[in-house]
A and B are shown apart, each in its own frame.
Chain A
Amino acid sequence: MLWPRLARNLLRPPVTDAPVVPLPEVVAALRERMEAASMRRLGRSLAIRQVDAGSCNGCELEINALQNVAHDLERFGLRFVASPRHADVLLVTGPLTRNMAEALLRARAATPEPVWIVAAGDCAVDGGVFKGSYAVLGGVEAVLMPDLIIPGCPPSPTELLEGLVALVEANA
């Protein structure tokens, strides 16, 4: 019969020993070593998801130029990724048009913590020349607090690199 067996099994105390509790000091020490090891291996790398929040595409030209062989940003541990889910950095350009605000927030929501928000270009800093238009919110800051701003119209690849490499250094 199934029922008496079930009832017996439910009421009988387990034969397994009580769980062991690791020593907190050991856990803490191991965690520290693990973090140090991962920082050593992964800490000098940042994955960047670029989000155009309404730019004129001038900023995109210079961001793309970071990938040419002269600037070769991957040698600094920086690389562009296709999904915000793989990103450490959201590199935002444009005056934040009203039409793009929700998309930017959704990209932010899809990015795992911790995330650096970088506002690149005069537009992303405060709306640039488009400040005051009915169609823009006037810079990334209207919806997300930037950790770093890189001014310029557009910022040159060297200026962009200086900002991004500073992030790598700060992280390492």
Chain B
Amino acid sequence: MRAAKVLESGVIAPCMPWPRTVLDAAAWLRLREALASDPSLDLLALWGEPGFVHAAFLDIAAPRLWLASTAVEGGRVPALSPVRPGAALFERALHDLWGITAEGAVDARPWLDHGRWPVRAPLSPRPLSHSPAADPMEFLPAEGAGVHQIPVGPIHAGIIEPGHFRFHVQGETIVRLEARLGWTHKGTLSLLQGKSPRVAARFAARLSGDSTVAHSLAFARAAEAASGAEAPPRATALRAVMLELERLHNHLNDMGFIANDAAFAPLHAEAGLLREALLRAQHQAFGHRLMMDRVVPGGVAMDLSPEGQAAIEAALAGAAAGLPRLLRMYEGHASLQDRVLATGLLPPALVAAFAPGGVVGRAAGRAFDARMLTGEMADCPTQPGADVDARWRQRHAEALAAIARVRTLLAGLPPGPLTVSLGHGEAREGVALVEGFRGECLAWLALDEGGLIRAAFLRDPSWLHWPLLEAAVIGNIVADFPLINKSFNASYSGVDL
């Protein structure tokens, strides 16, 4: 049976622009059964709300988004992880945040809750007070002659976010890696509740600072969809400009840092300089180097002046001239090529099972980009290879495309207002998917009659990248871990919530 058929059988809840299907317990089980044999729906996210569990699926052939929900009975809901392995981390978060147990889940260990909060299940209808004490962490074992463990973190050696990596190694070779996150959990979802989208936007902007534009945009578009508002054309164009600039500066950053982790400093220095010029232009144009809080529900917070536009165009010219140089440098050093080729290979079976988005997915041949959903893009370039090299090249190709896109947008900026007000009246829901530099950022929110947020979920693409990183390092040497990790560059804060 096709999973879409099961979804069509449910009761429709009015979520814009993609309706949400409410399934009863039997239909949810039928959905799980159908998913087992029907690969057409990829799992994007799974989250909770008092009394309900929601799931978002993607059909990249259509392309379209599906939302499905089912009622929680006795604090439980049948798990999806047996048929969609990417659901496992979401199910662990479901338990930690909403107190909902996924029955039959492949992994029932805690995820975000380390035992240190003064509450358990903070987003459940009745959070339990709890005296904070660190819960011991249980790690998946690895057995064999000479296997030993290397614990790393939560504080790492570099300037990066905190997380704990537990390696099992045999000699120099990694036989298992487990990433344990949650260290930067800030309670973002609970902070969103009861606020107007305008006020809550600053939390979406800070879900993962490097994707501030992408998450702000997903949140704003979901809020607009829920309130039946549409951002004016000039705001839409400026948002697209900022989204591409964010993609460009992050791709430059990642290309440089990947080379740096292979101890190839010149490329890092060159990429860093191009990126710095871009950040300065962004500051000039939008008043903030990372363009934080510039995308707001209803539109954008400020206009682009002619001087700002000129600054962006100058920085783009620098990047356009620099990118071919970076590629020549990258390809011209055998010692660098030796480090990146066939390093951190992602097995095709796992790519199919997890359906990762963004650079990680496209560098493994998965041709999806959220801009295809809105018609902003007809198709997207991909790379074969699924190794560090493919991820570097994918970024390079996307950086060039981002420059071209910003130039087109700037050449035809429509005049007009920058914001619309979000109306309210009836309780409504909205959802949006935005292609950030890492992949698809999903925002879902439900508003009450007063236009305040009743429930919300913000999904970073890293949810699916972390488990795949664990798989990609197997069989590689420990010394290549930083390189492989950087080629994924998953967000910690984005999934820690």
Contacts and interface: CB of A to CB of B under 8 A. Distances in A.
A94 B122 CA distance: 21
Interface in B450-497: 491-493
Given A52-B160, A59-B209, A99 B116 contact: yes
B161 A57 contact: yes
A129 B207 CA distance: 11
Interface stretch (A9-17, A65-73, A143-151): A65-73
B4 interface: no
A62 B280 CA distance: 12
Contacts of B85: none
23 contacts: A52-B159, A55-B209, A56-B493, A57-B209, A57-B210, A57-B493, A58-B212, A59-B209, A60-B159, A60-B161, A68-B276, A94-B184, A97-B186, A98-B132, A99-B185, A103-B154, A103-B162, A107-B155, A129-B191, A129-B203, A129-B206, A130-B186, A135-B185
A70 B184 contact: no
Contacts of A34: none
Contact of A99 (B114, B122, B279): B114
Interface string B405-426: 0000000000000000000000
B493 A69 contact: no
Interface string A79-96: 010110000000000110
B201 to A, nearest CB: 11
Interface residues of B, number: 47
Nearest to A71: B276
A153 B203 CA distance: 12
B9 interface: no
Interface of A: prevailing SS: loop
Contacts of B28: none
Interface of B: 114, 116-119, 122, 132, 134, 154-155, 157-162, 182-188, 190-191, 202-203, 206-210, 212, 253, 269, 272-273, 275-276, 279, 283, 289-290, 292, 491-493
A101 interface: yes
A44 to B, nearest CB: 22
Given A68-B272, A100-B183, A103-B162, 12 more contacts: A57-B210, A69-B272, A71-B276, A98-B117, A99-B182, A129-B191, A130-B186, A130-B187, A130-B191, A134-B119, A136-B186, A156-B283
Interface in A28-58: 50-58
A56 B159 CA distance: 13
A97 B283 CA distance: 29
A64 B132 CA distance: 33
Given A57-B208, A99-B116, A135 B273 contact: no
Contacts of B212: 56, 58
Nearest to B272: A68
B187 A134 contact: yes
B486 to A, nearest CB: 12
B172 to A, nearest CB: 20
Contacts of A171: none
B118 A100 contact: no
Contact of B117 (A51, A57, A68, A134): A134
Given A50-B159, A65-B276, A68-B273, A58 B117 contact: no
B324 to A, nearest CB: 20
Given A52-B162, A56-B207, A68 B275 contact: yes
Contacts of B155: 51-52, 103, 107
B159 A54 contact: no
Given A68-B275, A101-B116, A103-B154, A58 B290 contact: yes
B276 A133 contact: no
A98 B119 CA distance: 12
A164 interface: no
**Of listed A56, A68, A154, residue having the most chain B CB within 10 A:** A56
Given A153-B292, A154-B290, A134 B210 contact: no
A102 interface: yes
A99 B183 contact: yes
A62 B292 CA distance: 13
Given A57-B493, A80-B159, A156-B289, A97 B183 contact: yes
A82 B160 contact: no
Contact of A133 (B191, B207, B283): B191
B263 to A, nearest CB: 15
A68 B269 contact: yes
A32 B221 CA distance: 66
A102 B134 contact: yes
Nearest to A98: B116
B116 A52 contact: no
A133 B186 contact: yes
